[in-house]
Structures are given as structure tokens and as C-alpha cells.
Structure 1
């Protein structure tokens, strides 16, 4: 039966014939090579880097032969975050974090690049004679083998130039990625379904008068296809005012307003048509002469001649290549009212580029068909405008949304632009690819900047991924998290040490569970005794150092051989008093070389009956080696010149023991505001050793401070900590904006990093509660992320005393069930 329907089938108008050897072949015999493009993350490039990006594209485009088409397609799809809460290994707080972001809308960006080789005849196709309007297709001119081979060779050169830039990455698509398989959709199928899902279903396409529909979605189209619509000037990048200050510049690509900043479903197609430049210029010469002849009849002819002359002068004087270009934005929605708002949004974003927004209702089907991957040769030539390669490339979108780290280990942060969770590895992957040489971190943030929330969020995730975490705190910042871990592990972990008059911190530096005193243990005991004995401004003599070393070694040998000796400071004191001074007499050691009675007199406060006899004689032989989350809260002794240095040294010794004995296990020590202890001469050796050695033992040292003066005044921090911390983390620095030059110089920050830091919290979304944080890795990789947490995490991390007391009160009321208390408080916060 003959088909008498006026409607045509999709198959009859489908312009592609086959996909072979990674090439798309159209029914007009055009050959297309398809790539997936990975762009830099938004807010991470400077003006110089945008210029380098632009230069890379320009170099790559120049290698293509005549009658080639560059089609860059950026697809932005609105999606909702789908939390992975079915895993058994998720903790209470991780699950609450995932649930908090459930259905969070964000914009998913995918970028493709299609390089098409067409013919001179086909490059002049018009909208009245394209694949949609022709009843049958027979190409007048075919590509020969040599032409195809040369084109594929040029595509390889194009790919190498782009990938060698270090800013972009192009990956050639395989046949299966183009056409799809039985289980996953290819890029052509995804395009027709207006989706980037792996499993898509094709829907009816309706081409009506002034309206096009794909399924239930109504399409609208804005084009930049005429010279009078274009901006008066273009650039590689533009200043993003919302995140810029008078002291810093935040840059985005020139076309960013129609890219990541346009928050609706849309596709941006950018075309470059590489014709014969010499022939184009000859045509313009002829047109200019004609205009000159007709200039006496019309002033507009004279003006047009002047414009053409200027174009020709530019081309000849600078050796520029004449090409045609086009840019369009397809947006869609299944709601007519919403589509009206989207049309206004697209128009306003185009106007931000200083271009004239023009909605095209006539050519929607034609341009939609031309944007099919591999069908750029079917683009109607009257929709393009003449320009040069450099100017046309300014319409290329240069950035994408934040990307997840390709690493199993990491922390969950949030995209500052869309609010979508991002998996970020700031330890292992950067070490592996050479971005950093150590995992140490330096965190700087004034009070109220969200520093405690970030550090709580980070250490909690480290702990849940198997790391041993030791925290030295002054301010009870980790009390909530530690209490939760203690409750979850039934007291096996989450050990919290604090100094109370009724229950002071007590240690036994001479106790080791396995009875082995290695070199590090001996050195830590010597450092401890030296700290008790000498003031910071009173260095020991060489004779005193030797005598002390002998005393410690002999006492440790006695512990090892005599089981009746109880290891403690008391027995060490008695050994010096009763035995060691006799040994010194036999060696004829003079009193001026080592004054035993003076030594014992200074150490007497730590011996039984002394003021601090509790400190070093603990009978609770607590082994911290197997405990994975330990907090030392030193707030009550932060100004005690005697206790603070001693306790800090013992804490360091605890971590170094973990560092040495826990092979292949991640370890982290985080030191909060303990500068007075760190500034001592004896302590500085520990810090230097720790920061330089910890990386060799799969560990990382983290120092947190809120005062700029602390950095500047401490030579230890200035020299050792900053120089050996390849990961620097800064929070809101607007309090120090007038001092920031000094901070920038001290931390060795670039102007790009400075601009990123000063943009923190400048344009936060009022609908979300979060604080931003800047993370820099090795001086080469940096970005600003958001620390946004669930109400459950907020109740756990909060440092507000009233909120902490509320958690404790409800915990007691519920019989010590802190998790249930947090759940109830979080629920009440949601209702409010």
C-alpha cells in the first residue's frame, strides 16, 4: 500500500548513514570525528589562563583543512541529587549528610566537540535545501581516500595541541559511545531525548508552525547569527562582579553567561566554518568595489564599504583567517509558563554579553537538525556571519561545574555555585599525581568563619574511612563528635582527655605496652625531662645532655631487666637519687658538669608529694595505640607554663608511637590553638621532626589557627609548618583584607589564589546555610568550596555553648543516648 500521509517519518529524514572506525558518516558523505571535552572548573582560571585557553583553541583550529566545521556542543541538564544511603558502611552522620541533599537541583554539564569534513558544495547549504526538506539525498561531491586520511591526521594534531595545553582534555568517542549499546544510550540518542542519562527513551518530535516539541518539552531558540546582533567587542574572559572586589578579580569566560550561569535546561551550539579564506577575501574585495560604485546612490553603501575595507585591512595586516561562525542557545521546558521565564532568562544572559538577544522562531527545526552530532554540514549558511578565528573562539564556553575526584578516599564538600555535594581528595590523589609532596595541612580562619565546622567535618570523614585521628584542642570544639563516637563504639573509641581539678590529665611516659623502648621513645623521654629541668632561655651544656642521656638509658635498661621496678616518674626520680649519683661518682663527674642535687630539686614538684605528682605517675596504663579517635582538650591549662609544654610533648610522643607502629594505616594529628606550647625551644624540635617525617609513615599533620599574628610571631610556624604544608586551607579573610598582602607573602599565595580567597562568602545563596572555604594544593590547584552540613551534623559540630548544653541536657534526659538526642534536635530545627 502506498504511503499517502503528508507526515514524514524520522527515518526518512535522518541525516546520518553510518558510524565506522569512530567516525560519523552522513548521507551527504560528510565525515565527523567526535570528542568528549573536559573543561576547567568554574572560578579556577585567571585572565592569563583564559588567554592561554583561547590561544590553544586557535592553534588547534588552524591545523584543520578548508571546508571543515568545528562544532562545540555544551549540554546543560537540570538534575536532582540522588543520595546513596543504601550502603551498610554509612555512619549516622554520613547518612544524614546524604539525606540533607536529597533532590537538591543542580546543573549537569557535558561538553562535546565534533570536527566535520564537508565539501565546498555542501558548505553552501541553505535552510530551504537541508536534510529536513529534501525528499532524497545524493551528494554531488564525495570525499576521496586521501582527503579523508589528511582530515583524520589533522584531527589527531588538533587533539594533541589541545591535550598538551594542560588546561583542556579531549577524549575521542568510540563507535559504541556514539551509537549506544543494548544497555546504554549513545550521544545521538541522548541528543534526541534531550537527556544525558544512560538509559533514555526516544519521544515524538513535533515540528509545527513557530513551535517545536520533543515529547512534552517545548523548545525555544536564541541565535547569534547576524553581525548587528553581536557585541561591539569580545574578549577571552570577563570580570564576574559578584565575586570580585576592588582588591581582587574573579574571571569567567566571555560566554559564561549562557553557560554555567544560565540555570535552566539548555544546549549551547557554537560553530566555526573553515572555508577557503583567500576566496572569502576575494569576494569581499569584489563586494567593496561594488559598494564603492553604488556609494553615490546610498550612504549605507558607503558605510558598508568602509566596514568591509576595515575587515580586509585587519585580515591582510595581521594575517588572520576569514571564517564563518554561529552561536545558538536551545532551551526547553514542559511548562509553557516556565518557558516564558526561561526565554527571558536566556535573553537577559545574552544581553550580559552585550549582544542583542534575538529569539528565532522560524529556524528552530532546521538548527535543531543541524546540531545533531555529525550533521554540522547541514547547517544553513545564511545563519552564519563572517569573522576571524580569534573573535569566533571568544564565544566558546570555557568552564564547567565542579568535578568529583577520581579517588576512593576523600571528603564530601559542596559546589559553591549549585549546592551539589562534591567528592574531593586533598591527600592521596594529589600526592599520586605530584601536585603535592606531603599531606600536611595548614588551616587559617578567624573566629566565626566556620573553621570548627570544617575541621569537624573533615576529621569525621577521615575517621570513618579508617584513619587514626588525634586532636589537640583548646575550646571543646570536638566534644560533640567525640561523645558521639564514644557512644557508637560503646566506649571502645572516642577518648576525650581534659584537665579538671578533680580529675586532672595524667600520663606515664615510662610505660610501653610491649616493653620495647625504641630510639623515638628514648628521645621523647629525654625531651620531656629536659623541658621539666631547663627554662626555654637556659640551654643545657653538652655534659648535662650526656649525663641525662646516660641516666635515661640506664633506667630503661633497669626496667627491662628488673620486673620488680614499676615504670613511672617516681621510680626514675628514686633511681637518680639513690643509684645514678653513685655511678657519677665512680665516673668522677664533676658537680659543675652535672649537679645531681640541683637536678633533683628542680624535678621534685613532679615526685610523689609534690605539686604536680599526679602528672607523670598515672596508674591507668591506658594504651592509646589502638584508639582511633582521641581528643586532648587543653583549654584549662593553656596558660599554665608548667603543664602545657609537658602535656603537649606527651601528646606528640603518643602520635609518634602511632606513626612508627601502625604500618599502612592512615594517621592524622590536628593541633588547634597551642602556640605557646609550640613556641618553646624543646617543642620546636618535635614540630620540625613531625612535619618533615610524618609523610613517610602515611600520616599528615594539621595545624589550625585563627590569628594572623600567631603565624607571623612564631618562627617555627613561619618556617617549618608553612613550608612543609602543601595543602593550605583558608576561610573568610575579610577581617584581614587590609593585612592580606602580608598573609599572601607569608603563605606564598599567587594573585589567582588571592582573588579566590577574597571572594569567599561574597555571594552566598540566601536559601542555604553554609560557609565557604578555600583549599589550595601545592600552589598549582585551588578552588573555593562550601561547607554545608545537615542539621544532625550541625548539632554535633556546634561550638555555641547554649546549643551544646541543649545537646547534653537532652542526652541525659534520654539515658545517655546522644544519637537520639541529636536526631530530635535536628528534627526540631527542620520544623523551625
Structure 2
């Protein structure tokens, strides 16, 4: 049977001739410069920034010559997250996290810009002159080389203006980007298959009068090609109600509803046709005169004349350039039922922009063909409408989805809109770029806002990337994580200090793993003994300081000479015997150093005393080499004797790490304990830490939940906040009425305030997560989702019943925390799947 269908080969109808000097040449002698566009991230742009972006586009477009087509093409493709489960040395929790997000669907955004230089004749052609309608395409010769040179100069100037704006970045596409290589698909092949996936074969393209099909994918096309379809007013941005409050506005670009908010496979095409503005205005002047002369025959003519005159008045009054514009949304699906839903969704998205949805079934084929990269010259002129550059630019989408950091170091968060995992560096890359000057962090969030989850998630990932982590806690928030690390390292790491009657905290301040007593170690021992000896309101005299310093130095010297085991008991014995003789030889008077008083005050910490266990631990703990240490001090934070000693030990441990571990990342995180530390005369340690730690590749982090604490405490205000360039805030709705004070104290901008107040306002009920705001240096900020796997949840949980369940099962399994978490998480999944 003979095939009578109207078919043609792609080669015969293909409108493009070549790619030279990274430009596309069409067979009609059009030249197209191609760019990849990098836009700001979603929900991170303020009103002034939207206006600056809008202004940059306008300035850049004004530099282009007449008969240029600006074609911005935004691709929104549904993709699935593909984790790297083959990566070596992944921890149990890291693998659980990756499995949790495996094949998580999300909408990915790719943005391109095509600047096409064409001719006056081509700009006026209608759909019946499309290259699709021609039997044979004969390549034309580019005759005017000077026009090409001027166009390329204008393109370079256009690129420079946009890149200098600081908000949008243009990256020139290379020949390989456009036509592809043996291993990668080029942009043209991607468009002709409507797929970004590698290996997608070319399929039949059916361009019918009412139906366009690419393989099995059928197109659904909505157009904005008539002024009657447009809203009465447009702007560079619009308020996104779902994340706004009565105190703050969350902003998106005017066209955002047909961008990332339209969750289906689609392409949003934006065209600006730069005709000769003066010629257009002369044409409108003539049309206005004709309408005036015919006004008596029809009221419509009178109304049209008034509209034309208003357009001309605007153009002449403000020096505006008359252009034509067109916008369309091409959505596709291989499922007929889904295609109907896409049609409704796209129409609803346009309606949100107050546009009249027009489902185009007439010019689908020619509009699809004209949207091919480099073929904008084939656009049918009857599908465009007259406007000015400024209002037309309001229909440009100006944001993209969250981007992962290029830094190898960072933490895993999730995109708040789609739930896609994001690799986020809030320490190293911002330092290199000069966004922040230190790595310190200040975390604020009320009870139940997810602070412990976020901090557990962060410190776990820091630890797994080689950092030394020291935590000061007041609520067993990190017990599960510490026990897991202890089990995985077989006790080599994961040290958990807490005070109980049966197992009180005990240390040996004189112990060092390498026998080295540097200046910091000696000073730490002296500070400790001084704290035991003197009250806060009783400063030591100069002679007492010298005597104590000599006593410590003498005992250390004896340790080295006799190779004896160091301890506080040994120090006490040394002072009681040998050092007594030294004092007598030097004839030190009792009023200069009262030895009997000194020994009497320290006697409770000597063997047989009330606190003899405290400083004479026989556990030779090498805290310098331990990478994960938790001090849980809730039981002793109000104890007059124990608390000052423990805090000195904690600070000594970290400062020792800070100075002796060269080139190793260190982190100290102080939970609510900082309030007690600041009260007990330890504020100097806090100040020293926050000002000095950055010089030693370290970071200090303070976590609090009480607003009044941060507002009223001078220690926090002056030392912590001023020296913390990274601020992390969680749900602040409980503090809505106090937020103005928090904003002023933290120096937050209106944009940052709007972001913070949008936290948890529109969470996806199908996902379990809480949102967190991260601000860097006052210039970069965004809201992310803290979403974890079930295994991580049971490791981090602070819910007492859940924690007891995990701990009890781990105890029954011989202390195997990992196995306990696996079992409980598995049971939870089985129960969820059974419903």
C-alpha cells in the first residue's frame, strides 16, 4: 500500500544552516547569539532587587540594533533525584539520607537567552511564510558584513550590562553546548526531543493543524498574543500570599506562576521584537488619523483612536521605544488524561497573573518551530502585540530553583519548594568569597521549632567531614548521635560526659597524651586551681600568683624527671612536701603566700575529700584526639563548685584543640549552657573564643531559645552576635510581637525579615520537615528545609518516649545503637505501608 501521508525529512525542513563562532546561522541569514542565564534563587529577591534586575534588562535591550529579536526560553523539566550510593566511606546515616531522597521528583529549571539579528522583511512575515510551509530552503548569503560586526558589538555590550548588574549572569554557549558531542546532547537535540535526558532518541515530529506531537509527547500551548488577554497593570514583582504575613511580604516575579510554581514539564517562551520604533509610531499616527476620519461611522473607531493616542502620548512623553512582544507556555505529556490536567493548570497559572488564558490550537506548529533556538526569525508576526520595553519585561521570569554549592565541604539541606536535597556550604566558600569574615554561628529558635534537629544534622555532617566537634549541652539533645558514633568507632570516639550520682563527671587536669605541657595547658591548670582556691570577689595578689605558677611548674618538672603518673593528688602531695621546702628556702612569708590556707581550701579535692573523684580520674582520656565530645551539664549548671571547674575543663579542651591541631577544622557548640557560663565569670572565655577561633580554622556556635536573653545580655550582644557572621533562625511566629526588637538587634533587613516570617507558612503536608533561615554576612540569605530520613530522625529525636525506646532496644542489643535505629525505623515504615 502506498503511503499518502504528508511527510518530510527533518533535513529538508531544518531552518538552521550552521554554528560558527558560537553563533547559530539560519538558512535565511539570521544570526543568533546564545547564552545560558543564571538567575537569583527563589524567595531570595527583594523589591529593590527586582527593580534593579528589570532596569538592567531594559538598559541592555536598549543597546541592541533594530530588527533584533530577544528570545528568553525557560525550561522546567520534571526530574528525579539520583543519589550517589556508590560513594566510599559513607556513614550509616548518610546512606539513610540518600536512600530517603532516592528518586525524589522535583522541577528543574534551565534558562537560555537567544539574541537574533534578522531583517525588516523577516520581522513582518506571518505564519504562512514559515519555513515549514516552504518546499525547499535555499540558504541566503549574508551580504552586509558591517551589520554583523555592529550586532556582535551590541551583543558584547548587552552581556556586559547584564553581568555588571550583579543579580543575573549570562554565560555564552559554546558550539558543543548548542550541537552536542558524542557524549552529550546539544540544545538543539534537546529541543527537538523535548528531553534533557542523555540517550533520548530522535522520534517522529507530527506538526498538525491542531495537534503537535514529539514522539509520544503531545503539546499543549497557551499564548499571550493580544492586548485584550493582558492584565490592566503589570509590575516587576508580585506578592506571594502563601508565604506572606500581615507584617511581611514574600515577593516573586510577576511571571512566577508560569515558572517554578507550575509543576509540570513546560517551556515558557518570552519574545521581544525590536522594530524601528520611529517607524512604528509613524504607522500609529497614520492609523489614528484614519480612525478619526471614520469615527462617525463606528463608535469602535472612536475608541480605537483614543487608545492609539494614549499609546502615542506615552511614547512621546517618556521617550519609550515601541516594540512587539509575545509570550507562550508550551506544556507536554505522553498521557492524554494528564494533558487535560496540564491545560487546566496552565490556564490557572495565567489567570493568577490576571491574564486571560488562551489555549492556542491554530498556530501550535509554527510557534513550536519558531521557538527552536536560533529560529526566532520564523516567528509569525500576527501572534505578537505592540507594547513598550518596560511593561514587556515584567513578563520575564526572574528566579530559579535553589542551587547546590560548588564547594566540596558543606551540609545537606532541602529545597523548601520541591524537597530536592541541596549541598550548602555556610563556612568555607562564603569566607573565600568575602561574604563573611568568620565562621561563627548564632542560632535562635523557640522550643519545638526544630533547633535540636538542625544542630544534630549539622554537627553530624561536620564530624563526618573530619571536623573536631565539642558540644556543651543542657538537655541530652546529642546523646543518640554520640552513642551512635561511639558504637561505630568502638569507643575510640563519641565521648559523653554527664553528671549522675553513680557516675559523676571526673577529669585529670594534669594528663596529656604526649607529655607536652605548653603555655595554654599550664595557664589552664593555674586558672583551675585559682578557681578552686579563690572566690570571685577575692582576686589573688601578685605574690600568690607567682607562688602558684612556681608550684605548677615545679610539679610538671617532677613529672618529667621521675616519669610518674600525673594527677591532682600528686600535685597536692608535691605542694605539701617538696614545694614547702622550696618556700622555706626562698623564705617566702606567710602573708605573701599562706601555704596552710592553700592546702586547706584544696583538701576537698584531695584523696579522702568530698570531691576527691573530680580531679583524679584514672581514665586516661585523650580529649585532644577525640573528634566528638559532648558535655551534658544540666545537672550541675547551678552547682557553685562543680560548674566552674567543669566549664574551665571544657574551655581548656577546646582551646587546646584550637591551638595544637593545625589545619584541622574545629567546632564548639554551646547550647543554653552559655547563660550559666556567662554568669559565672566565664564571659572572658566566650569573648576570647568568638574573637580568636577564626584564626585557627575553627568556629564557635551559640544556640538559644529565649529572646529576652539575647536582647538583654551584653555578653551575647557584644561578643557573640557581633562576631557571628552566620545567623540561623527557626520558626519565629511565637515571637511575632517581639520580632521588631530581634530585627533591630540582629541588624536584619526587610527582605530577611520577610524570609524569616515565611518559615513553615506553606509546608507540604506529604513531607515531614521544618524550615530554617540561614543568613550570611547580611547579604546572602534563604530559607531551607531540614528533612531527614527515619534513621536520622530516631538518632536526633529529643522526644523522651522515642529516645527511651531507642536506648532500651540498643541496650538489649548489646549497645548496638545502629541496629536499634535500623529496627525501629524499619518497623515504622512497615506500619506506614500497611495502611
TM-score (norm: length of structure 1): 0.97
Q: 1:178: which partner in 2?
A: 178
SS in 2 for 1:636: coil
SS in 2 for 1:637: coil
Moved over 6 A (4+): 2-5
Q: 1:723: which partner in 2?
A: 722
Alpha-carbon distance in structure 2 between the residues aligned to 1:663 and 1:534: 35
Alpha-carbon distance in structure 1 between the residues aligned to 2:42 and 2:344: 24
Instruction: Tell me, yes or no, if the aligned pair for 1:648 and 1:677 is still in contact at 8 Å.
Output: no
Alpha-carbon distance in structure 2 between the residues aligned to 1:804 and 1:681: 32
Q: 2:798: which partner in 1?
A: 799
Aligned residue runs from structure 1 range 259-338, under 5 A: 259-338=259-338
Q: 2:200: which partner in 1?
A: 200
SS in 1 for 2:272: strand
Q: CA deviation at 1:579?
A: 4.9
Alpha-carbon distance in structure 2 between the residues aligned to 1:638 and 1:450: 24
Q: 2:780: which partner in 1?
A: 781
Alpha-carbon distance in structure 2 between the residues aligned to 1:575 and 1:710: 45
Q: 1:226: which partner in 2?
A: 226
SS in 1 for 2:386: strand
Q: 2:216: which partner in 1?
A: 216
User: Where does structure 1 lack aligned partners over 5 or more consecutive residues?
Assistant: none
Instruction: Tell me, yes or no, if the aligned pair for 2:209 and 2:365 is still in contact at 8 Å.
Output: no
SS in 2 for 1:182: coil
Q: CA deviation at 1:658?
A: 1.7
Is structure 2 residue 255 aligned with structure 1 residue 255?
A: yes
Q: Could you tell which deviates more after superposition, 745-754 or 35-44?
A: 745-754
Aligned residue runs from structure 1 range 553-564, under 5 A: 553-564=553-564
Q: CA deviation at 1:542?
A: 4.5
Is structure 2 residue 361 aligned with structure 1 residue 361?
A: yes
* Cα distance, 1:140–1:495 mapped onto 2, change above 3 Å: closer
Q: 1:745: which partner in 2?
A: 744
Instruction: Tell me, yes or no, if the aligned pair for 1:527 and 1:682 is still in contact at 8 Å.
Output: no
Q: Could you tell which deviates more after superposition, 633-642 or 222-231?
A: 633-642
Instruction: Tell me, yes or no, if the aligned pair for 2:257 and 2:352 is still in contact at 8 Å.
Output: yes
SS in 2 for 1:64: coil
Q: CA deviation at 1:288?
A: 1.0
Instruction: Tell me, yes or no, if the aligned pair for 1:59 and 1:161 is still in contact at 8 Å.
Output: yes
Alpha-carbon distance in structure 1 between the residues aligned to 2:664 and 2:345: 52
Alpha-carbon distance in structure 2 between the residues aligned to 1:428 and 1:361: 53
Instruction: Tell me, yes or no, if the aligned pair for 1:207 and 1:365 is still in contact at 8 Å.
Output: yes
Instruction: Tell me, yes or no, if the aligned pair for 2:12 and 2:137 is still in contact at 8 Å.
Output: no
Instruction: Tell me, yes or no, if the aligned pair for 2:555 and 2:571 is still in contact at 8 Å.
Output: yes
Alpha-carbon distance in structure 2 between the residues aligned to 1:711 and 1:826: 38
Is structure 2 residue 417 aligned with structure 1 residue 417?
A: yes
Q: 2:816: which partner in 1?
A: 817
* Cα distance, 1:204–1:578 mapped onto 2, change above 3 Å: same
Q: 2:507: which partner in 1?
A: 507
* Cα distance, 1:122–1:512 mapped onto 2, change above 3 Å: same
Q: 1:371: which partner in 2?
A: 371
Q: 2:789: which partner in 1?
A: 790
Is structure 2 residue 464 aligned with structure 1 residue 464?
A: yes
Q: Could you tell which deviates more after superposition, 243-252 or 814-823?
A: 814-823
Q: 1:693: which partner in 2?
A: 692
Q: CA deviation at 1:557?
A: 3.3
Instruction: Tell me, yes or no, if the aligned pair for 2:674 and 2:702 is still in contact at 8 Å.
Output: no
Q: 1:391: which partner in 2?
A: 391
Equivalent residue pairs, number: 830
SS in 1 for 2:120: coil
Q: Could you tell which deviates more after superposition, 392-401 or 601-610?
A: 601-610
Alpha-carbon distance in structure 1 between the residues aligned to 2:595 and 2:678: 28
Q: CA deviation at 1:547?
A: 4.1
Q: Could you tell which deviates more after superposition, 140-149 or 522-531?
A: 140-149
Q: 1:536: which partner in 2?
A: 536
Structure 1 residues 512-567: Cα deviation after superposition (integer angstroms, max 9, x where no partner): 12222111112222222232233334444445444433443343334334434x42
Q: 1:620: which partner in 2?
A: 619
* Cα distance, 1:143–1:430 mapped onto 2, change above 3 Å: farther
* Cα distance, 1:561–1:120 mapped onto 2, change above 3 Å: same
Alpha-carbon distance in structure 1 between the residues aligned to 2:120 and 2:294: 30
Structure 1 residues 362-412: Cα deviation after superposition (integer angstroms, max 9, x where no partner): 111110000000001111111111111111100000000000100111111
Aligned residue runs from structure 1 range 460-499, under 5 A: 460-499=460-499
Instruction: Tell me, yes or no, if the aligned pair for 1:189 and 1:200 is still in contact at 8 Å.
Output: no
Q: CA deviation at 1:608?
A: 2.4
Alpha-carbon distance in structure 2 between the residues aligned to 1:250 and 1:448: 24
Instruction: Tell me, yes or no, if the aligned pair for 2:83 and 2:99 is still in contact at 8 Å.
Output: yes
Q: CA deviation at 1:594?
A: 4.4
User: Where does structure 2 lack aligned partners over 5 or more consecutive residues?
Assistant: none
Structure 1 residues 188-222: Cα deviation after superposition (integer angstroms, max 9, x where no partner): 00011111224332111112231111111111100
Alpha-carbon distance in structure 2 between the residues aligned to 1:557 and 1:745: 54
Q: 2:447: which partner in 1?
A: 447
Q: 2:526: which partner in 1?
A: 526
Is structure 2 residue 681 aligned with structure 1 residue 658?
A: no
Q: Could you tell which deviates more after superposition, 14-23 or 204-213?
A: 204-213
Alpha-carbon distance in structure 1 between the residues aligned to 2:108 and 2:216: 21
* Cα distance, 1:4–1:501 mapped onto 2, change above 3 Å: closer
Q: 1:437: which partner in 2?
A: 437
Q: CA deviation at 1:162?
A: 0.8
Q: 1:636: which partner in 2?
A: 635
SS in 2 for 1:36: strand
Q: CA deviation at 1:260?
A: 0.6
Alpha-carbon distance in structure 1 between the residues aligned to 2:697 and 2:155: 44
Q: CA deviation at 1:603?
A: 2.7
Alpha-carbon distance in structure 2 between the residues aligned to 1:356 and 1:14: 34
Alpha-carbon distance in structure 1 between the residues aligned to 2:598 and 2:298: 107
SS in 2 for 1:347: helix
After superposition, the CA RMSD in angstroms is 1.9
Structure 1 residues 227-276: Cα deviation after superposition (integer angstroms, max 9, x where no partner): 01011000000001111111111100000000010001100000011111
Q: 2:163: which partner in 1?
A: 163
* Cα distance, 1:56–1:594 mapped onto 2, change above 3 Å: farther
Q: 2:672: which partner in 1?
A: 673
Q: CA deviation at 1:472?
A: 1.4
Q: 2:11: which partner in 1?
A: 11
Q: Could you tell which deviates more after superposition, 484-493 or 102-111?
A: 484-493
Alpha-carbon distance in structure 1 between the residues aligned to 2:4 and 2:737: 78
SS in 1 for 2:496: strand
Instruction: Tell me, yes or no, if the aligned pair for 1:332 and 1:339 is still in contact at 8 Å.
Output: yes
Alpha-carbon distance in structure 1 between the residues aligned to 2:423 and 2:609: 53
Instruction: Tell me, yes or no, if the aligned pair for 1:645 and 1:677 is still in contact at 8 Å.
Output: no
Alpha-carbon distance in structure 1 between the residues aligned to 2:783 and 2:540: 48
Q: Could you tell which deviates more after superposition, 692-701 or 567-576?
A: 567-576
Instruction: Tell me, yes or no, if the aligned pair for 2:27 and 2:140 is still in contact at 8 Å.
Output: no
Instruction: Tell me, yes or no, if the aligned pair for 1:29 and 1:143 is still in contact at 8 Å.
Output: no
Q: CA deviation at 1:584?
A: 5.2
Instruction: Tell me, yes or no, if the aligned pair for 2:644 and 2:680 is still in contact at 8 Å.
Output: no
SS in 1 for 2:77: strand
Instruction: Tell me, yes or no, if the aligned pair for 1:325 and 1:387 is still in contact at 8 Å.
Output: yes
Instruction: Tell me, yes or no, if the aligned pair for 2:568 and 2:616 is still in contact at 8 Å.
Output: yes
Alpha-carbon distance in structure 2 between the residues aligned to 1:68 and 1:414: 41
Alpha-carbon distance in structure 2 between the residues aligned to 1:398 and 1:764: 23
SS in 2 for 1:740: helix
Alpha-carbon distance in structure 1 between the residues aligned to 2:590 and 2:307: 99
Alpha-carbon distance in structure 1 between the residues aligned to 2:28 and 2:317: 37
Is structure 2 residue 703 aligned with structure 1 residue 707?
A: no
Q: CA deviation at 1:614?
A: 1.2
Alpha-carbon distance in structure 2 between the residues aligned to 1:649 and 1:141: 83
Aligned residue runs from structure 1 range 101-180, under 5 A: 101-138=101-138, 142-180=142-180
Q: Could you tell which deviates more after superposition, 207-216 or 679-688?
A: 679-688
